[in-house]
Amino acid sequence: MPFLSVHFVMIFGSLFLAWGLRYGWQNSSEAAQVSWQKRWQKALVCFVLPPLLVVMTAIAVLCMGSEGQMIGLQAGRLSYAIAIIFLIYSVIRSAQLALNGWQSLQKLQDLVIDRKVDVKDDFQAASLIDEPVRLLDMPMLFAAQIGFWRSHLFVSQGLLDTLDPDHLEAVLLHERAHTHYRDTFWFFWLGCLRQVMPWLPNTQALWEELLLLRELRADRWAAQYTDGLLLAESLLAMVSSNMQPIPTFAAAFGATNTSDRLEERVNFLLAEPEPLPQFSWRSLFWIGFSLLPLTVLPLHY
């Protein structure tokens, strides 16, 4: 019977486990009292592990094939076909996200003013702001790193006309932090996991938590080289300028969608500086559990 195949056991087992892992996450009101490092670890593992576990299970089923058996159960063609369809769907959804990002980038390129902008000579942290600036013919306040592995800095003419050099430097330092952490690259892949399985519990809440933590990390990195008050004032100016939705492949200073997130960012900038989050082997260890379906391949014959 196909519904008793080993592939069905693996697929539905991974789905059940993924659902349970996501359902158990809660973004409590006491989150701000938890250490920043723990917030990163918990949000990242809860966001990445469940969908990656299902994807790896589908890959394991694909490697096993539609014939043979394991632990006394036969493989099944129907479950094998389901795994193939899911993987094709995952590739298509990821490709759509990449296409949307490329189209957004092309639209912004059409707004670029054909002249070079060199503003770093006016800044105290000029050695950090060493990337070329692409100037957009837009009256609103806009600054964002947009791209994939090597992102590009886009700023609007309205930003240059409105902010004084100190506040402009704060904005550009924040965007430099996104380059430092390769945020556009890593959040593209996180966005792919979000696109593939958006129906898992707490997907949107976890996504917003990761976006907030990303911005807090960039704020904290920039605060090493400029005053936190300048960053907070610049953030308020950017958010109040009625910015357009941030495109895919983008990490923008004003990417704050709710008043609660804005308030937390401002309070974070004005509070006593916290250490920057460090790479965690513990997070990597937990995410590594998603590879468990591949370890049963030798049991299939």
Q: Is residue 99's pLDDT more than 80? A: yes
- Alpha-carbon distance of 167 to 138, in angstroms, equals 19
Residues of the domain holding 106: 2-299
What pLDDT does 119 receive?
58
CA distances from 80 to 65, 85, 86, 87 (A): 7, 9, 10, 11
Angle made by CA atoms 154, 217, 247, in degrees to the nearest 5: 35
Number of domains into which the chain is organized: 1
Percent of the chain with pLDDT over 70: 76
Note the pTM of the prediction, 2 decimals. 0.85
Of 129 and 30, which is predicted with more confidence? Answer: 129
Of 47 and 110, which is predicted with more confidence? Answer: 47
Average pLDDT, the chain: 79
Which pair of tokens denotes residue 93?
A: 């959804």
- Alpha-carbon distance of 215 to 231, in angstroms, equals 12
- Alpha-carbon distance of 85 to 95, in angstroms, equals 15
235 with 254: CB under 8 angstroms? yes
